[in-house]
Amino acid sequence: MNIDSIQNGIVIDHIKAGQAMQIYDFLELGLLDCPVAIIKNAASTKMGRKDIIKIDSELKIDLNALGYIDPEITINIIRDGVRVKKYHPELPELITNIIRCKNPRCITSIEQELPHVFKLIDRARDEYRCVYCESKAGI
C-alpha cells in the first residue's frame, strides 16, 4: 500500500490499533475540505499494530486534548514536506466535551446545552473531575 507524503499538515502516529476513528470523529475531520488518510492496523515494531492519521492541512485546534484519548500518540507537524516538530501531547488542564459526566445530579444532566468540562486534578493518576459537581471522570 502506498500513501503519499503530505506537504503541509499533521501526521498523528502511534495511535492504538482501532482508535483512529475516535480521533477522526473528535477532530471532526469529516468536515475538512482537504485530503485525510486513515491507516488502520499498520505494522509497528514498537506496538505490534497501530493506526495513523495524515491530514494534508494545518489545523487550528489544541491537539493536547488527544493526550487524554491516547497518551502514547505522536504528533508530527509537517511543513514543505519536512517534519518540523514532533511531540507527545500532554494531558490538558481542561477537557471539554470529550467525556460526559455520569453523575445524574450534575447540572449537565438537566441543562443539556452545557458543555461537559473536566479539570485535571492529579496528573500522575490521570484523574479528572467535573467542574460543576466534582465527580470523578470514568475512563
Q: Are residues 115 and 67 in the same domain?
A: no
Q: Are residues 98 and 56 in the same domain?
A: no
Q: Are residues 104 and 78 in the same domain?
A: no
Q: Which of 1, 10, 18 is nearest to 36 (CA)?
A: 10
In a domain, 2, yes or no: no
Q: Are residues 76 and 59 in the same domain?
A: yes
In a domain, 105, yes or no: yes
pLDDT digits (tens, 9 = 90+) for 12-55: 999 999 999 989 988 888 888 888 999 999 998 888 999 999 99
Q: Are residues 79 and 29 in the same domain?
A: yes
More confident residue, 94 or 62: 94
CA distance 37 to 54: 5
Q: Are residues 74 and 21 in the same domain?
A: yes
Q: How many domains does one find in the chain?
A: 2
In a domain, 139, yes or no: no
Supply the range of the domain harboring residue 121.
94-130
Q: Are residues 45 and 65 in the same domain?
A: yes
CA 131 to chain centre: 21
Q: Are residues 100 and 78 in the same domain?
A: no
* Stated pTM of the model: 0.77
pLDDT of 64 > 90? The answer is no
CA distance 72 to 106: 31
Q: Which of 71, 70, 73, 68 is nearest to 120 (CA)?
A: 68
CA distances in angstroms from 128 to 33, 37, 88, 138, listed in the order given: 34, 32, 19, 9
More confident residue, 59 or 127: 127
